[in-house]
Structure 1
Amino acid sequence: MKKGFTLIETLVAVSLSLIVFLGIFGAYRLGLRIVGLSERKITATQIAQGEIEKNRNMPYLDVGTIG
């Protein structure tokens, strides 16, 4: 009875490990990308809300029309 792993068994194990690692790494990168997009969206929303508040607090006579 032989002990140890054959070359094929080792290649299969390494291949499966690589596939799992690449899947986890891809999910990690996607998570980072989503976090970055969310941060930019939150920043844009905060800026827009600030501008809306400035316009709401303007005296009526200072409100103009465009065009």
Structure 2
Amino acid sequence: MKCIKSAYRKKAKLYHPDKGDKSNKFIQINEAHAELLNWTQNPRFCSKKALPNSWCYDASSRRWAPPAQRS
């Protein structure tokens, strides 16, 4: 969570609309930040540690796991 927050703050400062005409990029950064926060607060993240609809590597079984389905 801390790395998401610090990365968001760095990009938000860089692409803030007050620093130039970068409002579209700033909106994309805000949307990505909200999506990442929602993903980390999802109980499936805590148990599966996988992105929805993406393959992930399970180190305990040393195998690739199929995409997690969104609820």
User: If the TM-score is normalised by the length of the shorter chain, which range does it land in?
Assistant: 0.3 to 0.5
In terms of fraction of residues, the more strand-rich structure is 2
Normalization by structure 1: what TM-score? 0.35
In terms of fraction of residues, the more helix-rich structure is 1
Larger radius of gyration: 1
Normalization by structure 2: what TM-score? 0.33
